[in-house]
Chains A and B, each alone.
Chain A
Amino acid sequence: MVKIECISIIGGIDKSGKPENITSLDIREGEIIGIVGPTGSGKSQLISDIEQLSQKDSSTRRQVLVNGKVPSPALRNDPRQKMVAQLSQNMNFLADMEVRDFLRLHARCRGKDQISTDEIIYKANQLTGEPIKPNDNLTILSGGQTRALMVADVAVISESPIVLIDEIENAGIKKHEALELLSGHNKLIMIVTHDPVMALSAKKRIIMKNGGMSTLLEATPEEKIVSEQLSGIDATILHLRELLRNGLYIEENDLNFIPESLLCKEENASLTL
């Protein structure tokens, strides 16, 4: 497999046919980039362009280069050579088959026959509520179960140096755990999100507007501090969610919940300040 050092997005046109503000953008291995913007602003299309390694042949006329070069057709199409894993916004499977058969088939497509399907199902079940069973039919899975299975499938079978994630916060799965599962060492990750916690966890973020890449912002030191505090608030909200899901009453005291892991982090953060 080709080693990815850098992908370059050469800007195309926005929805009005005008050139995009950002004419060229390099993303290097190990970088995590957020993609934010109003609904309909072209976020999903941007990652679709990257997934297809578009060569000015999509509606946006963008071109994507790999290590500064035009990628070969095989690199674009052959799943065995593909360098891009994509978690799309889809909330349901249309394939009418059992979970285990589906995973086996997909593993074969990617040339990874030796992968254990049980391990993928186990990983998916760490992210969702009611467990997925190997002989469940794909089409009966709930939105959350589907999403959890897609995450585990992308993380294990489609394991690739470039990971594209579209709104991981959807469908009520454990987003932090899901993100951790998807992001391995030195991967190039792009996250489309409406969630401030996710958006601020990226070092850079692309702002989308009217179908075009409008601005590239780098997270400020102040935003880093806000991001830490926000993670605390988020953890409290997720804690409340779990309590509610398990049929418990909420008490005022529950609002003060901050997980220990975050407490340690905050101390570290204040030390470095």
Chain B
Amino acid sequence: MQRRKCIPHLVATDQQKMTDNKTINKLPLIIIAGTPGAGKTSVLVHTIRILKSANRRPALVKIDCLATDDDKRFAKLDLPVLVGLSRDMCPDHYSIYNLDEMKAFAQKNQADALIMETAGLCHRCAPYTENCLGVCVIDSTSGPNNPGKAGPFLSCADIVVVTKGDMISQAEREIFRERILEANPGCNIVDVNGLNGQGAAELAQQFQSFKAGSSVEDKLRHNAPFSVCTLCVGEKRIDKKYHRGLLRTMSGCEQYVGE
């Protein structure tokens, strides 16, 4: 703060940035995470159709790893769509790193909300920020033990969307629901059928009534895993002697190996 006082032009830019951030932070941000094949895109397409019929105009961002066709599905909705491929970077890290760009895209297109679907794969991250509406999509046919294993993308979510409920018995659905509440007691559970859209209206209702959080500098709800090692930066050899970084053995011993 001391230094900023000394350099007037920097103060101005910072203030400019702050106001930019403020207007950009007022834009409701909805982040959708979930396991591959759980039905994130199908659920979203149904939900966004309902939002559109209520005269809402969100911008859509789809993050995937290597390739995606989902932008074609989104394009049919006639809304601004942006696609990002994370390639070598973890898709969750990529989506967090590029959030400002996505917000700018939404603003440039006069969108009234930004809906971002991540590719989230490893279950250790949660892509949700404190200000966003965090939505986790989970497949109920994955079995009642799955919610307990799902990690922060389920336990930090505001809304948990359960898909494929029509494929299991009522009893299994109820047990699955109970297991989700054990992992995330405060969440709102919404059952959505990705094929016919049943339940999407309730989700759309929650999207519409969501107001962006107020913290100026938005933060992640959960930290990304902090163990990084030489494998993260391209080492291909397997033998233990080649590896450096924060490493964990089968017996659970975690240590720093290196200089």
Contacts and interface: CB of A to CB of B under 8 A. Distances in A.
A96 B149 CA distance: 14
Given A57-B200, A58-B198, A88-B166, 6 more contacts: A79-B177, A86-B170, A95-B172, A102-B171, A105-B144, A108-B178
A110 B174 contact: yes
Interface in B186-208: 189, 191, 196-202
Contacts of A28: none
A150 B168 CA distance: 11
Contact of B171 (A54, A77, A157): A157
Contacts of A54: 198
Contacts, number: 75
A87 B143 CA distance: 19
Chain B interface extent, by class: 20 to 34
B203 to A, nearest CB: 10
Contacts of B200: 57
Interface centre among A86, A97, A109 (most CB of B within 10 A): A109
State which size class the interface on A falls in: 20 to 34
Given A57-B198, A108-B178, A109-B177, A96 B171 contact: no
B198 A106 contact: no
Contact of B169 (A48, A57, A79, A88): A88
B198 A52 contact: yes
Interface string A209-245: 0000000000000000000000000000000000000
B11 interface: no
A20 to B, nearest CB: 17
B1 interface: no
B145 interface: yes
B175 interface: yes
Contact of B174 (A52, A79, A87, A88): A79
Interface of A: 48, 51-52, 54-59, 77, 79, 85-88, 90, 93-97, 102, 105-106, 108-110, 150, 153-154, 157-158
A96 B179 CA distance: 14
B141 interface: yes
B170 A102 contact: no
B166 to A, nearest CB: 7
Nearest to B203: A57
A93 B169 contact: yes
A90 B140 CA distance: 14
B171 A158 contact: yes
Contacts of B143: 94-96
B167 interface: yes
A52 B191 contact: yes
Given A57-B199, A59-B197, A90 B178 contact: no
B169 A77 contact: no
Contact of B144 (A58, A95, A150): A95
A158 B144 contact: no
Contacts of A157: 171
8 contacts: A57-B199, A59-B196, A79-B174, A88-B170, A95-B175, A105-B144, A109-B177, A153-B169
Contact of A105 (B169, B170, B178, B199): B178
A85 B170 contact: yes
Contacts of B202: 57
